[in-house]
Amino acid sequence: MKFVPLITKRKSVAALLMTVGAAIAVFAIACGGTETVEVTRVVKETVIVEVEKVVEVEKEVEVEVEKVVEKEVEVVVTATSAPSDTMMMPSEQSGEFVAALQTVGLPVGTPELCVPTCSNEQYYYSVWDTPVQWSADGRVIPAVAERWELAPDYTSFTWHVRPGIQFHKGWGEVTAEDFAWSTNTVNPNVNPETLHDVGGDLTCCYGETVAVDKYTAEMEIIKYDSRLPGWLFSNLRDAYSIASKTIYDEFGPEGMRDIFVGTGPFEIREWLDNDKILLDALPEHYNQAAHIASARIIEVPEEASRIAMFESGEAMITHVTLPNTPRLEAAGGVRRLLQTVILHVGMNPNFLELTNPKTGEPLGNPGYDEAKKNPEAFPWVSFYDLPGSDCDWNVLLEEVPSDPGSICPEMENGRKVRLAMAKAIDKQALADSIYDGLAWPGCNWAISANDQLHDDAWCVPYDPEGAAALMSEAGVDGFTIGWWAGNEPSEAHQAIASMWKDTLNVDVEFHLGPFTTWHPTFVDRSFIHLVHDGEQGGMPAHFAKGREAQAWFAGGIMWSGGIPFYQRIYGDMLGEEDIQKRNEMAVQFGNHEAFWHWDPSTVEFPVYTIYNGDLISWDPKKAAMHTAPVNMIYPLEDIIIK
């Protein structure tokens, strides 16, 4: 294995399976009260309403996995609001809440400069608010937007801003101008320079948002998304917050970077990078004021120190790697499941799409074009247009090729190499050695092995002999492959690299550097290395499949390839309102991936936050499915110190 910091320097390291470590944290980086409403349009939607316990036993360790069970219900898509009957205001605010997190995040007040996790930190600290909110029982509820309407022709979405909401520290009332600017500045279709994490998701579907009057903003719809408005506009996962346009206009993007002004129930007293964030609760809030008076969130990178702080009672909430979870439970900790994560390997540069689905124009694929210059160095790529080849590109649009024997050798050999690499990964060994048996093998990169739609046929068993045979069939005898690993490779990176070397004679060259350095290559599709990313396994299976792996994300991050079938199925699922039909499409997605292996999954594991049940009570009224450390304490306003 080799390491290439910032694409230039190289140094060697040993490749071996390591003991229990912090792989979870590495890949976590790598998507209110009730309101009385008058329904004007209703569609079928899924909410997560019950939990089925599945007990698996590995190495005499009992693993309790919460399996998502979906239920079809009716939810409001277009509604008008009436006064809330449950405006929750505490009788008094008291006590300082203390948490120890691996990181307190990136102190950035400018929306467009928020790289991944930065935006999540803003609203998971309950300092900023998203346009709407996602309740613990799976409903979209009003927040900054008190009501909303979808145009009958599906070409626009109208947001009605709740009058009277004030920005912190005297920065005035929130208006539709703030709402529109906050939406536009993070949308690459409007602001191509944005670094915001939600940008890629927004590019598929939304154009410019304009203020119609003081409290009304209209958002252009490019492609209707049946998940609107819960997806991308709520705290459920990746979203954005409403910020002050006045501050931006006065100070500019760099000047706003250090100004932390939101509309949430807490405001920031102090936020120091690599140190701490201090929060003060507002005495009242339009949605729900906090029960605590203040919060002190401390950055504690070392897990042993976080454990000590929790066991001593200094930290009321923390998070640890899976093997240490039972230890904290023995110290009075209460385990709360946030999400499951499916780790997967994006086999770039398989950028094989021809057309931008949003514009109909030809699509550039510079990463693929670079690989074409020396195809022997990229044997995992399914080339469809090499000189002298006779390939039918259209086979890439099929769920599963109707005649697999007709696939040209250039495409088929790439498929065999990817399948060989998947077979060479001992997923159970990863689960046992790195996660102490508390993880389990993944089978599909976007559908959990615990989901009701899961099919065992999607699983790739560990088969080193079969892997070697596939390499031989493809005429490949070892090669070197690049792998972007962030600032440093994790134990999982190194373990997988070791397996590939031992079984297939594949040498991994790790390319290092922060997200901001590599971001342009993720956007323009010039990226030519693997990426080990994490997808949320708790997301409903009927949510559109193929995120960040097809050109509905053009203008945003596309670091898992550009797959023609993914483009088709993602677009079809966006516009389909019938849940059953979307479920059927999700199965098609699973079948396609199981044949081509564009994005082999490795392991799946649960992510927990641990709180001290002797010191605090916590009954969250809102829910989020994100694995960023800051989500370990969300929502702060529901915490009560005993």
Q: For residue 347, give the nearest of 501, 247, 482 by alpha carbon.
A: 482
Interval 314-336: pLDDT, tens: 999 999 999 999 999 999 999 99
Confidence of residue 254 (pLDDT cuts 50, 70, 90): very high
Q: Which residues contact 628 (CB under 8 A, 6 or more apart)?
A: 28, 29, 105, 117, 120, 121, 124
Q: Which residues contact 402 (CB under 8 A, 6 or more apart)?
A: none
Helix (H) or strand (E) holding 604: strand 601-612
Q: 49-63, 78-92, 228-242: lowest mean pLDDT where?
A: 49-63
pLDDT at 119: 78
The share of the chain scoring above pLDDT 90, in percent, equals 81
CB atoms within 10 A of CB 580: 11
CATH homologous superfamily for the domain 111-120+129-257? Dipeptide-binding Protein; Domain 1 (3.90.76.10)
pLDDT at 48: 36
| Buried b / exposed e along 467-488 (16+ C-beta atoms within 10 A) | bbebbeebebeebebbbbbbee
pLDDT at 87 over 80: no
pLDDT at 90 over 90: no
Are the CB atoms for 480 and 1 separated by under 8 Å? no
pLDDT at 177 over 90: yes
Q: Which residue has the higher pLDDT, 133 or 34?
A: 133
Q: For the residues 37-65, what does the mean pLDDT come to?
A: 34
Q: For the residues 36-41, what does the mean pLDDT come to?
A: 30
pTM above 0.75, yes or no: yes
Confidence of residue 257 (pLDDT cuts 50, 70, 90): very high
Tokens 């590599």 found at: 518
Per-domain boundaries in the chain: 111-120+129-257
Instruction: Give the end-to-end CA distance of the chain in Å, rounded to a whole number.
Output: 52
Interval 341-386: pLDDT, tens: 999 999 999 999 999 999 999 999 999 999 999 999 999 999 999 9
Interval 386-439: pLDDT, tens: 999 999 999 999 999 999 999 999 999 999 999 999 999 999 999 999 999 999
Interval 112-170: pLDDT, tens: 998 877 878 899 999 999 999 999 999 999 999 999 999 999 999 999 999 999 999 99
Q: Which residue has the higher pLDDT, 2 or 110?
A: 110
pLDDT at 50 over 60: no
Q: Which residues contact 350 (CB under 8 A, 6 or more apart)?
A: 368, 380, 381, 382, 414, 561, 562, 563, 598
Q: Is the dihedral of CA 231, 232, 238, 244 positive or negative?
A: negative
Q: For residue 479, give the nearest of 413, 531, 412 by alpha carbon.
A: 413
Interval 460-494: pLDDT, tens: 999 999 999 999 999 999 999 999 999 899 999 99
Secondary structure class of 392 (helix, strand, coil): coil
